[in-house]
Amino acid sequence: MRKSVKQIHFEEKIMNRLSGKSLDVMKYIISDKEIQILQDYANIVSIKRLGFNDHGPVHMRKAALNSILMFDLLELAEIKLNLEREHLGTVEDSKIAVLVAAMIHDIGMTISRQGHEYMSVNLAIPIINRILEQFYKNDITKKVILKSLIIECIFGHMATQAIHSLEAGLVLIGDGCDMEQGRSRISSMLSEQPRVGDIHRYSSTGIDRVNIIKGEKKPIQIKVDMSESVGFFQVEEVLFPKIALSPVKKYIELYAGVKGKELKKYL
């Protein structure tokens, strides 16, 4: 399957924020045919078969970009992530773990929506092994630790299970921040009959942009700009619960509001 313009756009935006080994890992991921096929098929199952929103290559790239944006803001504020804080790895190792996890976190959608985070882990394990063997070939300690951390990031992205690392917390929130109107456009166009769960799809059409920037009092500010108040459903039922369960919560300011009206502060 050919890559879309949006896929390429987000790949370039991610790579512009990377260097060294993390950039090499990203180039490896986006050139890997198995990963691309899994991402494409995840979208076919999600949109065409189940009628859900985007869970494919564009979404996974947006989640990765969101995660890396927040990663860089924590680094700018001199906040050490768990691998560095616990003397288990470098900043680069943490960034690679976040990047790999975010880029494949939804491949379980190729099997089922229910419990797809577990399916994603099962499908991801041989891919993770392959990536780590390529870039950490002679470092068994790093391979073991990074594999476990990447799995935690994937396993925890639905906020159904407790996570305990900042790295996993970034992937959780990075995933939750992809809720702009474009994500639900295709499934809305294909829908013929109203059904239970449509509020998730329609509420995202009210969200114009999710901005991840440097905070005023905390390292990260997430500001959700909306065209319609229905977008508050996405903020309060999807994004905020993910932030609330993330170890990164204490470093985040969260605002949301309809353009032209006063912003609501959540954190």
- Lowest-pLDDT range, 15-19, 150-154, 178-182? 178-182
- Report pLDDT for 185: 45
Place 162 in a pLDDT band, splitting at 50, 70 and 90. Answer: very high
Place 188 in a pLDDT band, splitting at 50, 70 and 90. Answer: very low
Q: Is 264 helix (H, G, I), strand (E, B) or coil?
A: strand
Place 205 in a pLDDT band, splitting at 50, 70 and 90. Answer: confident
Mean pLDDT along residues 25-43 = 97
- Lowest-pLDDT range, 17-26, 136-145, 229-238? 229-238
Tens of pLDDT, residue by residue over 212-245, are 999 999 999 999 999 999 999 999 999 999 999 9
Tens of pLDDT, residue by residue over 47-103, are 999 988 889 999 999 999 999 999 999 999 999 999 999 999 999 999 999 999 999
- Report pLDDT for 203: 62
- Report pLDDT for 182: 52
- Report pLDDT for 201: 55
The dihedral through the CA atoms of 253, 248, 171, 176 has a sign that is: negative
- Report pLDDT for 52: 84
pLDDT more than 90, % of the chain: 85
Residue 28 burial by CB count (10 A; 0-12/13-18/19+): exposed, middle or buried?
A: middle
More confident residue, 130 or 192: 130
Residue 123 structural domain: 5-265
- Report pLDDT for 189: 45
More confident residue, 203 or 230: 230
**Overall number of domains in the chain:** 1
The model's pTM: 0.91
Model confidence at 187: pLDDT above 50: no
More confident residue, 197 or 136: 136
**Side chain identity at residue 173, one-letter code:** I
- Report pLDDT for 206: 86
Model confidence at 193: pLDDT above 60: no
Question: Both tokens of residue 209?
Answer: 């942009």
Specify the length of the chain in residues: 267
Place 186 in a pLDDT band, splitting at 50, 70 and 90. Answer: very low
Strand (E) or helix (H) holding 225 = strand 220-226
Model confidence at 141: pLDDT above 60: yes
Output the 3-class SS for 37-76.
Answer: HHHHHHHHHHHHHCCCCCCCHHHHHHHHHHHHHHHHHHHH
Question: What's the whole-number average pLDDT of the chain?
Answer: 92
- Report pLDDT for 180: 84
